[in-house]
């Protein structure tokens, strides 16, 4: 028998993957008797915000991920297609019809028994005696689960807030402007620097101060979980300073026009090769992965609306045509520092037999979380049968996401959605964007076929 905790996107997929392969599975869900600050129904896999499950286009990263999930029997995608509503290229669903149908299918599966109520780690020994346990309690996990995860993985490896800077596709940075140099030429030239002149800097700061922001939810500024406190910006800033150790860039800019030039964008130790001078200010870019195909904007955590981020960060010299693979966010989230605490099969290094799935692993979004649910289900199946699960090559979408969760590059580990930058660049490099992506896609399809064969021959598909 297996135990899955949380019937969100990851939990239903994990339970379904196990049940379809003949494993009796108990699936714990606490809603509706106990809820989270964002959920409002008792449906499994509730879409707490948008009703979009991203692109359907087979030539997009999200489309490739969907093809891979379909090959493994995704119940979320199959149900979403049955309840699709018009959404252009995106797979959008009628949220109530989707939730109701999915809940019914899962409840009626002969190998799944649904347990209602909040699971607590006090049950762990008993459940582990019966087989593997998968934790899929999501970004708003109960305090009991979060506290236990912090205890066994080390407090510094569990995040309570997601405070990340925007990330751009390296191929879209203008290298004739952004230059590689570390301050005072100390260390390797891993950083790229986007140099501001006084005018461009002041225009950027003014745009930041006046930009439209995402509203703060009460549960983000008040008590971490109870949502009872007032929706105040001051409380929110205090919380994120405490939990995430940062202040949003727009709040720093509000302190005065030169506050960024003296702080996050300090140009000391830098020389712009185009002018031979120190720039007025400099925004630094740091590689996000080993192959340097993604760069994050250092210390640019913010709460601006996405359209505003695109407009304003494209005012930065060198980023005029940058493509953002992820925008900055600061919000409540719970996730582990996967590269330090998870094995490649999503098993907790500290507690063999306990797997983690969904957003807790450090992926982001409904589809990515569901994808990690299927993977955790297969990994738990392999664990029970003593067959190690083959981890897919980084060139397919599953491999790309899992490589992000194992990448040891020193960085602020941040949740990631599926995007082109996670797929390795072709060798030799291809300059044309369309041809580069077509090549990545072809490699992804080959890598997927290989992985499916490995799963098949191990009896895990
Ligand atoms: C406010 C907000 C807005 C979002 N907007 C979007 C968006 O627009 N698009 C998008 O793609 N993603 C969005 N996300 C992210 C998305 O919700 C997650 O990526 C996805 O739901 C994660 O799936 P999951 O299975 O890991 O967690 P969830 O889907 O949250 O599922 C976790 C489940 O576990 C249950 N649970 C928790 N603790 C326990 C316990 N101790 N015992 C039993 N059950 C428990 C919960 O009730 C829940 O049903 C948003 C998240 C939040 C918080």
Say what percent of the chain tops pLDDT 90.
81
Q: Whose CA is nearest to atom 15 of ligand 1?
A: 365
Question: Token pair of 393, please?
Answer: 């090559």
Quote the ligand 1 centre to 38 CA distance (angstroms): 8
Strand order in the sheet with 167-169: 179-180, 192-196, 281-287, 294-297, 167-169, 324-326
Regarding whether 370 and 315 lie in a shared domain, the answer is no
Q: Any idea of the CA torsion for 441, 443, 446, 447, to the nearest 10 degrees?
A: -110
Regarding whether 88 and 172 lie in a shared domain, the answer is no
Other C-beta atoms within 10 Å of 258: how many? 15
Regarding whether 286 and 218 lie in a shared domain, the answer is yes
For residue 207, give the CATH number of its domain.
2.40.30
Quote the ligand 1 centre to 309 CA distance (angstroms): 25
Per-residue pLDDT, averaged over 86-107, amounts to 95
Regarding whether 123 and 218 lie in a shared domain, the answer is no
Regarding whether 171 and 221 lie in a shared domain, the answer is yes
Domain ranges, residue 38:
2-163+334-457
Residue 222 has pLDDT above 70, yes or no: no
Confidence of residue 231 (pLDDT cuts 50, 70, 90): low
Residue 247: what pLDDT? 87
Residue 189: what pLDDT? 73
Confidence of residue 219 (pLDDT cuts 50, 70, 90): low
Quote the ligand 1 centre to 356 CA distance (angstroms): 14
Nearest-atom index, ligand 1, CA of 46? 29
Residues 5-54: pLDDT tens digits? 999 999 999 999 999 999 999 999 999 999 988 899 999 999 998 999 99
As for how many domains the chain has, the answer is: 2
Regarding whether 204 and 141 lie in a shared domain, the answer is no
For residue 81, give the CATH number of its domain.
3.50.50.60
Regarding whether 343 and 217 lie in a shared domain, the answer is no
Residues 142-184: pLDDT tens digits? 999 999 999 999 878 888 887 889 999 999 999 999 999 877 6
Residue 187: what pLDDT? 59
What CA–CA distance (Å, rounded) separates 441 from 61?
8
Residues 175-216: pLDDT tens digits? 999 999 877 666 567 899 999 999 999 999 999 999 999 887
Average pLDDT, whole number, for the chain?
Answer: 92
Exposed, middle or buried: residue 108 (CB in 10 Å: 0-12, 13-18, 19+)?
Answer: exposed
Regarding whether 180 and 321 lie in a shared domain, the answer is yes
Residue 83 has pLDDT above 60, yes or no: yes
Regarding whether 27 and 153 lie in a shared domain, the answer is yes
Per-residue pLDDT, averaged over 361-376, amounts to 97
Specify the higher pLDDT residue, 37 or 4. 4
Among the candidates 272, 292, 327, a domain finishes at 327
Quote the ligand 1 centre to 140 CA distance (angstroms): 6
Q: Which of 7, 48, 146, 370 to mutate to test the pocket of ligand 1 (most atoms within 8 A of CB)?
A: 48
Residue 225 has pLDDT above 60, yes or no: no
Q: Which of 12, 32, 38, 49 to mutate to test the pocket of ligand 1 (most atoms within 8 A of CB)?
A: 49
Among the candidates 327, 356, 384, a domain finishes at 327
Quote the ligand 1 centre to 183 CA distance (angstroms): 41
Residues 238-262: pLDDT tens digits? 777 777 678 899 999 999 999 999 9
Among the candidates 268, 295, 327, a domain finishes at 327
Residue 215: what pLDDT? 82
Q: Are strands 158-164 and 281-287 parallel, antiparallel or unpaired?
A: unpaired
Regarding whether 275 and 176 lie in a shared domain, the answer is yes
Confidence of residue 224 (pLDDT cuts 50, 70, 90): very low
Ligand 1 proximal residues by C-beta, below 6 Å: 5-11, 28-31, 36, 38-39, 48-50, 118-119, 136-142, 145, 358-360, 364-366, 369
Question: Token pair of 170, please?
Answer: 């390296």
Ordered DSSP codes for 417-431? ---GGGSPPPSS---
Regarding whether 125 and 38 lie in a shared domain, the answer is yes
Regarding whether 172 and 299 lie in a shared domain, the answer is yes
């Amino acid at each position: 028998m297996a135990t899955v905790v949380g019937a969100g996107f990851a939990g239903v997929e994990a339970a379904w993957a196990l049940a379809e392969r003949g494993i009796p599975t108990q699936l714990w869900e606490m809603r509706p008797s106990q809820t989270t600050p964002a959920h409002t129904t008792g449906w499994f896999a509730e879409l707490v915000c948008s009703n979009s499950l991203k692109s359907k286009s087979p030539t997009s990263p999200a489309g490739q991920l969907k093809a891979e999930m379909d090959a493994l029997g995704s119940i979320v995608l199959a149900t979403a297609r049955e309840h699709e509503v018009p959404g252009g290229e995106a797979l959008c669903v009628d949220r109530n019809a989707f939730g109701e149908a999915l809940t019914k299918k899962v409840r009626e599966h002969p190998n799944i028994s649904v347990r209602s109520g909040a699971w607590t780690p006090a049950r762990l020994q008993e459940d582990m005696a019966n087989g593997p346990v998968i934790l899929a309690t999501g970004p708003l996990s109960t305090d009991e689960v979060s506290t236990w995860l912090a205890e066994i993985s080390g407090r510094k490896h569990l995040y309570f807030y997601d405070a990340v800077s925007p990330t751009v596709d390296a191929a879209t940075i203008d290298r004739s402007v952004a230059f590689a140099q570390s301050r005072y030429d100390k260390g390797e030239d891993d950083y790229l620097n986007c140099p501001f002149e006084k005018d461009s800097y002041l225009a950027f700061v003014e745009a930041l101060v006046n930009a439209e922001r995402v509203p703060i939810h009460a549960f983000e500024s008040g008590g971490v979980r109870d949502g009872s406190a007032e929706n105040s910006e001051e409380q929110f800033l205090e919380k994120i300073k405490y939990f995430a150790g940062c202040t949003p860039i727009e709040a720093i800019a509000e302190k005065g026009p030169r506050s960024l030039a003296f702080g996050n964008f300090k140009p000391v130790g830098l020389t712009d090769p185009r002018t031979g001078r120190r720039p007025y200010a400099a925004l630094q870019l740091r590689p996000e992965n080993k192959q340097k195909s993604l760069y994050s904007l250092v210390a640019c955590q913010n709460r601006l609306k996405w359209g505003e981020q695109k407009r304003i960060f494209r005012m930065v010299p060198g980023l005029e045509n940058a493509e953002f693979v992820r925008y900055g966010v600061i919000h409540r989230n719970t996730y582990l520092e996967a590269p330090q605490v998870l094995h490649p099969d999503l098993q907790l290094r500290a507690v063999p037999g306990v797997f983690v799935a969904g957003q807790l692993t450090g992926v982001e979004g409904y589809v990515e979380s569901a994808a990690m649910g299927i993977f955790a289900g297969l990994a738990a199946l392999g664990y029970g049968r003593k067959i190690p699960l083959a981890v897919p090559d980084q060139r397919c979408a599953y491999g790309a996401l899992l490589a992000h969760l194992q990448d040891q590059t020193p960085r602020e580990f941040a949740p990631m959605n599926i995007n082109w930058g996670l797929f390795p660049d072709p060798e030799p490099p291809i300059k044309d964007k369309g041809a580069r992506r077509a090549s990545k896609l072809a490699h992804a399809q080959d890598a997927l076929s290989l992985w499916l064969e490995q799963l098949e021959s191990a009896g895990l598909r």
